[in-house]
Amino acid sequence: MGHTLVEKIIGNKVGHEVKPGDIVTVPVDWCMIDDIMVPFAVQKFEEMGFSKVAKPDSVVLIYDHFLPATQVDDSRHFRVGDEFAEKYGIKNVHRTDGICHQLMTEAGYVKPGDIAFGTDSHTVTYGCVGAFSTGIGYTEMAGILGTGELWIKVPETIKVEIDGTLPGNVTSKDIILRIIGDLTASGATYQSLEFTGSTVEAMSVASRMTMSNMAVEAGAKCGIFAPDEKTCDYCKIPYDDSIKALKADDDAIYSKVLRYRAEDFVPVCACPSLVDNIKPVSELKGVKVNQVFLGSCTNGRLEDLRTAAAILKGKHVAPFVKMIVTPASRKIYREALHDGTIEILNDAGCIITTPGCGLCCGRGGGILSDDEVVVATNNRNFLGRMGTSKVKIYLASPVTAAKSAIAGEIVN
């Protein structure tokens, strides 16, 4: 019997074949702690009685949600993190470099075949480079800090096969939203989503990141792509036989197989206030927009900013519409400055903010009030996430977001 990609990665780490449902203890290649969870993970670590961090060089602390600080207690999180890092010899600390999920691959940490855990549900993002990665709580993270390992149950896998050429106005964001709508928000609970097909092979690593990032919105344990030459170029590693072996067997067993024709996809939005409430943009034409948000670990990458800039060039956001642009990392911000993307967005009337999570988590400025509408490129539209519980959040691609900013309403 063949194995899925996730089964191969886990099997490689434990040194024997595994199958869905097996409970195994895995060595952890990377663990990421974000600023929200730092004090809680440190408290649990101390309560458990550990006197040292098992593998300090595999630990990454990233301050991204609370920068710049907007509440009085935020600075405590930074202070606790810095003290912990100094005490236990943790060198990988990012204080203003960008969003954790962007940095974990961009900064060269997670590589194909790795196993990574993070104190944030969107840790699933690293599946874009062929790693098994998933979010955990701060108690589990404290255990990893002290032991360097964690037990997991090997997940079943849903295969998502997409073939063909996408229409010009459709992005990977539209694809993953459609898939979430088809599966529902709980349809992939504790399963892996394995993305395959010619459409996937043609995607950039950045586009794949968008899909991996939102796999958790269908309940998935991870969302993963087999690594290829693009992956290795991005990770700055050779495309050798060990990487080529990181793919599912032809006779792998899947719990379900979803097949799509790329040509059938259309621009869509996740409508208030559920991520699986998916509707074609064409059905939402005319919905008035108060604000647009381009950013987050879902769509804050250079290709997203360039996509929006190409649409906004020579135009201006509509009167009374605020468009907030938040690059996912300092590196992306710098590249967008150098190639003129930021200038175009600025000339179009966009508000450019420091890299970080920003409005996605209701921080960093831009929260809205009752009955206001925001078109956003992030991953969640839950009640109260961007202001009051009566704010209406439509999740969309950078294409739809930019066009809606110009029109002042959702447009196809």
Amino acid at 9: I
Check residue 361 and give its pLDDT.
86
Check residue 311 and give its pLDDT.
98
- Render pLDDT for 301-351 as a digit per residue (tens, 0 to 9): 999 999 999 999 999 999 999 999 999 999 999 999 999 999 999 999 999
* Angle, vertex CA 115, rays to CA 326 and CA 228, nearest 5: 75
Q: If you average pLDDT over residues 188-205, what whole number do you get? A: 98
Q: If you average pLDDT over residues 13-39, what whole number do you get? A: 97
Residue 163 has pLDDT above 90, yes or no: yes
- Render pLDDT for 261-301 as a digit per residue (tens, 0 to 9): 999 999 999 999 999 999 999 999 999 999 999 999 999 99
Q: For domain 8-13+22-151, which CATH number applies: 3.40.47.10, 3.10.129.10, 3.30.565.10, 3.30.499.10?
A: 3.30.499.10
Distance CA 122, CA 181 (A): 18
| DSSP code, position 1 | -
Check residue 274 and give its pLDDT.
96
Nearest to 173 by CA among 325, 342, 34, 375: 375
Q: If you average pLDDT over residues 381-410, what whole number do you get? A: 96
- Render pLDDT for 347-395 as a digit per residue (tens, 0 to 9): 999 999 999 999 998 887 899 999 999 999 999 999 999 999 999 999 9
49: left (phi over 0), alpha (psi -120 to 50) or beta: left
Question: If residue 206 lies in a helix (H) or strand (E), which one and from where to where?
Answer: helix 205-214
| 223, 127 contact by CB (below 8 A) | yes
Check residue 69 and give its pLDDT.
83
The full set of domain ranges for the chain reads 8-13+22-151, 157-264, 270-407
Residue 412 has pLDDT above 90, yes or no: no
Check residue 132 and give its pLDDT.
98
Residues 6+ away with beta carbon under 8 Å from 7 = 17, 18, 19, 20, 154, 157, 252
Amino acid at 20: P
Residue 72 has pLDDT above 90, yes or no: no
CATH topology of domain 157-264: Aconitase; Domain 2 (3.40.1060)
Extract the tokens encoding 89: 């010899």
Residue 140 has pLDDT above 90, yes or no: yes
Domains 8-13+22-151 and 270-407 in one fold: yes
Share of the chain above pLDDT 70, in %: 100
- Render pLDDT for 44-71 as a digit per residue (tens, 0 to 9): 999 999 999 999 999 999 999 998 888 8
CATH topology of domain 270-407: Aconitase; domain 3 (3.30.499)
